[in-house]
Amino acid sequence: MSKLKQGAALAKSAARILAALPTGAKNDALRQIAAALDESRGEILTANEKDVAAAKENGMSAAMLDRLTLTNPRIDDMGAAIEKLISLDDPVGTYLSKKTMPSGLTIGQVRVPLGVVGMIYESRPNVTVDAATLCLKSGNGAVLRSGKEAFLTSSALVAIMRRALENTSIPPDAIYLVEDTSRETATEMMSLRESIDVLIPRGGAGLIRSVVGNAKVPVIETGVGVCHIYVTADANLQMAADILENAKCQRPSVCNAAECLLVDAAVAPQFLQLVLPRLQKHNVQLRADDTALAILGNAAIPATEDDWGHEFLDYTLAIRVVDGADSAMEHIARYGSGHSECIVTESYQKAQIFLQKVDAAAVYVNASTRFTDGGMFGLGAEIGISTQKMHARGPMGLEVLTSTKFVVYGNGQIRE
C-alpha cells in the first residue's frame, strides 16, 4: 500500500470518530490549533522563508510571491479565522425537516459530514489551515496536497496542527498532508474513491481542468476568476475608479480580482483618463481593444483574443469599450468564468437587469469583486469558491462541507 493510500485510509478512520463528536469537542480542538500556530510562528516563518527563496530563484512573479509569503500579520489572520470558525454554528446534526407520516413513521432529514475531503491546491499556505480547520469543524477528515512551491510551509503547518490534536478528542490522522507533490501522486489521489469522498481543487485554470478531467472521486469545481467590472454611461465615475482600482490592484493574484474592464462608449474617454493614473501607480499593464487604445495611446498595448477570458492573476487588465448593457452582458456570457461580476451604475433598472441576467456565483452592484470571500460573506474561513451549480456555489463554508441523510423512527411498522 502506498503512503498516500495509507494516509487517506487513516484519515477515513479518523473521520468516523470525528463525525460523532459534539461541537464543544471540535471547538476545543480548534482552540488548541490556533494556540499552537501562534506559539510556533518561528517554525512557520522559517519554513516559509525557504519556500519564498526557492520561488524567487525559480522566477515566480511578484503577485504570486505575495500569495506564497507569510508574515506575522498573516499568521494573526489565520488565528482570527479560526476564532471566527469557532463562533459559527455547527451544521452537523441540524435538521432540515422532520415530519410524521400517516404510517406513524417519523422521518427527518439531518446534516452529516461528507466524510473525507481531498484538497489539491497551489502556492497559498493559508489554504492548508483554512481547509483543515473547516473540515474539522464540519466533522470531516482532510487529505491535503499542497503545491510544491509552498510544500515546506504546508508541512510545518500540518505538523503543528497534528501535534495540537494529540491532546484533544480528534485523532491527528484527521489531517493528512500528501508528502509527494509529483503529478503521479496527484493522479493517484484523484482515484482514491475508497477513502476520499470529494475532491476540491483550488488554483489556476490548468490545475482545475486537470482535476475535473481526470478525477474518479466526485469533484466540486472551484473558481477560475475571470471577473469583470462594467461601468455604465450613468455611473458615478469617481466611485467606479475606486472600485476598479481596488478590484484590480488590492491583491491581483487572487481569484476575485478583476481581470477585465468593460466601459460604455459614452463615458469611455472621460473614465479611462480618470482611472489611468491610478492604474499606472500600480504598474498595471493595460491590454485594450481598438477603441480604448485610441483613447489610451502608448499607455496600453493592443488586446488579443486570448486576453478576453484570461485569468492574469497579476498586474494586467484587459479593457473593452462596449455599446451599452446588452453588449457588456454578451461579453461576460462569452468570456466570464461564472465567478464574480460587477456593474457600476446609478440606474436601478440597469442594476436589476444585470443581477437577473448575469450568470455568476456572485453578482455585484457598485462594489468591488474582492468581497467574494468566505470571511467577507460572514462564513468564516472558506475552502474555496465554487463556480459550478450543483451542491455548492460561491464561497464554500461549513454548511457546504456537509451532506444530508434521512433518519426514520418507527415502532414496528412494516410495509403492506
Could you please report the per-residue DSSP string of 308-351? TT----SSEEEEEEESSHHHHHHHHHHH--SSEEEEE-S-HHHH
- What is the H or E stretch that residue 369 is in? none
Q: How far apart are alpha carbons 303 and 318 in whole angstroms?
A: 7
Q: With contact defined as beta carbons under 8 Å apart, do 34 and 107 qualify?
A: no
Q: How far apart are alpha carbons 229 and 172 in whole angstroms?
A: 44
pTM of the prediction? 0.85
**CATH code 3.40.605.10 for 3-223:** yes
Residue 62 above 90 pLDDT?
A: no
**CATH code 3.40.309.10 for 227-371:** yes
Residue 109 above 80 pLDDT?
A: yes
Q: How far apart are alpha carbons 106 and 125 in whole angstroms?
A: 46
Residue 373 or residue 320, greater confidence: 320
Residue 221 or residue 364, greater confidence: 364
For residue 312, what pLDDT is reported?
94
Q: How far apart are alpha carbons 153 and 158 in whole angstroms?
A: 9
Structure confidence by residue, pLDDT tens digits, 12-53? 999 999 999 999 999 999 999 999 999 999 999 999 999 999
Cβ neighbors of 95 (< 8 A, separation 6 or more) are 108, 109, 110, 111
Structure confidence by residue, pLDDT tens digits, 331-362? 999 999 999 999 999 999 999 999 999 999 99
Under the banding of pLDDT at 50, 70 and 90, the label for residue 64 is confident
- Strand pairing partners for 175? 142
For residue 50, what pLDDT is reported?
97
For residue 375, what pLDDT is reported?
78
Structure confidence by residue, pLDDT tens digits, 123-163? 889 999 999 999 999 999 999 999 899 999 999 999 999 99
Work out whether the CA dihedral 316, 322, 325, 327 comes out positive or negative: negative
For residue 181, what pLDDT is reported?
86
Amino acid at 45: L
Q: Which three cell numbers stand for residue 107?
A: 422521518
Under the banding of pLDDT at 50, 70 and 90, the label for residue 122 is confident
Parse the chain into domains and list their residue ranges.
Answer: 3-223, 227-371
The answer to whether 3-223 and 227-371 have equal CATH topology is no
Residue 223 above 80 pLDDT?
A: no
Q: How far apart are alpha carbons 152 and 387 in whole angstroms?
A: 30
Cβ neighbors of 372 (< 8 A, separation 6 or more) are 256, 339, 340, 361, 362, 385, 394, 395
Mean pLDDT of the chain, nearest integer? 94
Q: How far is CA 416 from each of CA 103, 378, 413, rounded to the nearest angstrom?
A: 11, 49, 9
Residue 189 above 90 pLDDT?
A: yes
Do strands 394-395 and 385-386 pair parallel, antiparallel, or not at all (unpaired)?
antiparallel
